[in-house]
Amino acid sequence: MAKLAVMGGTPVREKNRLFPAYNPIGEEEKTAVARVMDSGALSKYIGCWDPQFYGGPEVQAFEKEWAAKFGVKHAVAMNSATSGLIAAVGALGIEPGDEVIVSPYSMCISATAPLFYGAVPVFADVEPEYFCLDPKSIETVITPRTKAIIIVDLLGQSHDVDAISVIAKKHGLKVIADTAQAPSAIYKDKFAGTLSDIGIFSLNFHKHIHTGEGCLAVTNDDVLAERMQLIRNHAEAVVEDKGVANVVNMVGYNFRLTEIQAAIGREQLKKLDAFVGERLKNVAYIGERSQDMPGFRPTKSRPGTKHVYYMHAFLYDEKIAGVPRSTFFNALKAELAPSKLQEEEGVLMGEGYVKPIYLMPIFQKQIAFGSRGYPFRSEFYTGTPRYEKGMCPVVERLNEKELITHDLMRPGMAQEDLDDVIDAFHKVYEHREELL
């Protein structure tokens, strides 16, 4: 009988058999980079009202191609999704004393972006099956101070657009969709990220396609597009000559994407559908072979949507499986090797996803800008921030007890790689009682 690696047995995937690294960059991107290098113009932005205020030819072409792909009127390229979210909040006119409803389960900027404009993040809980903000929970935290919702399409899954839209319309709220992890995800025949006031897509190294770092912010609103362009590129130096009347939040940054990044992005965009298709194929294969393990099941896709699997997740039920999740997880990791270029990290699997954001020191201490508690405590804010443990029970249960995530369904994984992943699941599951 096979012996678990954590108990001294031979692992399914020994450490000298590293999983392939995820590298979506090919010859096309190298050629595009050389084209820009040969031009000598690695960036063509000018921080004043000038035709080059909008960037160089690669940036502008990339924006047009992205907008065409996703069926939106405007795409605004920036140097990161962090920058994109900050610009989006500013473009909406969020200001000190306002509240913005945010997700506790995401990269932290999804929740901290409102702080840059003196607004206070208010956390709603997530759905137990899909991990996006729960519309019912959103309703419970709306106040007269609420001005917007930042919704996250987590792990590649679209949020409940219809339900969130009804709430936003009812209360006069704007919606930003953080679709960093879900490029080309579908909600009822429309692309996720295109059905909100602003959608944010990431081009970070870990995403489906990448330019190292980067972002496209999309909108069908001319004014919001202009305001994001201004915030991207030194708004305060541009508004007068451009004739911009509304200067609220028009203190700009340098959020500019370079010509090299844009050139890479143009080639990556052509490959997006193929990369997503490979993820879907791999997830389907893993799912087919993971149906006979009660207490350890692949998560579901929302009806009427297409999930694009930034990460793949399982829900773990300790009562059914009979073993604590941490014990099961540690045994599972011991059966698998890391990926190339990530040897020190080990295999990319996680218990949960991230610690709920409201438990971070910035919220527990309510200290952001300066030492006096701004914006949580200020003359502008009349509310009482709540960031205590237990306030979002679903996300805490998912993170502490139920969720297991991995990225071992990414493009580049061969059939034998996927088989090793699945064999590790089964081996640990079948021998789990030995872990007690």
pLDDT tens across 351-369, in order?
Answer: 999 999 999 999 999 999 9
User: Residue 128's pLDDT is what?
Assistant: 97
Mean pLDDT to the nearest integer, 84-104: 99
Q: Of the given ranges (187-191, 287-291, 338-342), which has the lowest mean pLDDT?
A: 338-342
Q: Which of 44, 147, 174, 207 is catalytic?
A: 207
Domain coordinates of the chain in residue numbers?
27-268
Closest CA to 76 of 233, 245, 192, 239: 233
Of all residues in the chain, what percent carry a pLDDT higher than 70? 98
For residues 283 and 309, the answer to whether their CB atoms sit within 8 Å is yes
Q: How confident is the model at residue 18 (pLDDT cuts 50, 70, 90)?
A: confident
Report the predicted TM-score, pTM, of the whole model to 2 decimal places: 0.96
User: Residue 74's pLDDT is what?
Assistant: 99
User: Residue 17's pLDDT is what?
Assistant: 87
User: Residue 344's pLDDT is what?
Assistant: 60
User: Residue 345's pLDDT is what?
Assistant: 58
User: Residue 205's pLDDT is what?
Assistant: 93
User: Residue 341's pLDDT is what?
Assistant: 66
Residue 202 pairs in a beta bridge with 215
Mean pLDDT to the nearest integer, 35-43: 96
User: Residue 22's pLDDT is what?
Assistant: 86
Mean pLDDT to the nearest integer, 130-144: 98
pLDDT > 80? residue 347: no
Q: Which residue has the tokens 């709920």?
A: 356
Instruction: State phi, psi for 150 to the nearest 5 degrees.
Output: -105, 110
- What are the tens digits of pLDDT across the range 240-280? 999 999 999 999 999 999 999 999 999 999 999 999 999 99
Closest CA to 229 of 364, 60, 376, 367: 60
Q: Decide if 427 is catalytic.
A: no
Question: Residue 337, Cα to own-chain centre: how many angstroms?
Answer: 26
Q: Residue 153 and residue 302: Cα distance in Å, rounded?
A: 11
For residues 203 and 255, the answer to whether their CB atoms sit within 8 Å is no
110: left (phi over 0), alpha (psi -120 to 50) or beta: alpha
pLDDT > 90? residue 58: yes
Rounded to 10°, the helix 415-430/325-334 angle is: 140
User: Residue 157's pLDDT is what?
Assistant: 97
Question: Residue 45, Cα to own-chain centre: how many angstroms?
Answer: 27
Q: How confident is the model at residue 15 (pLDDT cuts 50, 70, 90)?
A: confident
Other residues' Cβ atoms within 10 Å of the Cβ of residue 281 = 14
For 27-268, CATH number? 3.40.640.10
pLDDT > 80? residue 342: no
Mean pLDDT to the nearest integer, 321-331: 96
User: Residue 1's pLDDT is what?
Assistant: 53
Mean pLDDT of the chain: 96
Q: Residue 260 and residue 39: Cα distance in Å, rounded?
A: 11
Q: Residue 175 and residue 85: Cα distance in Å, rounded?
A: 12
pLDDT > 90? residue 211: yes
Give the CA distances from residue 177 to residues 156, 183, 248, 277, 316, in Å, rounded to whole numbers and listed in that order. Answer: 12, 12, 22, 23, 28
* Torsion sign over Cα 66, 70, 76, 81: negative
Mean pLDDT to the nearest integer, 370-379: 96
Q: Of the given ranges (142-151, 230-239, 269-278, 327-336), which has the lowest mean pLDDT?
A: 327-336
8: left (phi over 0), alpha (psi -120 to 50) or beta: left
Question: Residue 69, Cα to own-chain centre: how many angstroms?
Answer: 20
Name which residue leads in pLDDT, 291 or 303: 303
Q: Of the given ranges (18-32, 274-288, 326-340, 366-380), which has the lowest mean pLDDT?
A: 326-340
Q: How confident is the model at residue 20 (pLDDT cuts 50, 70, 90)?
A: confident
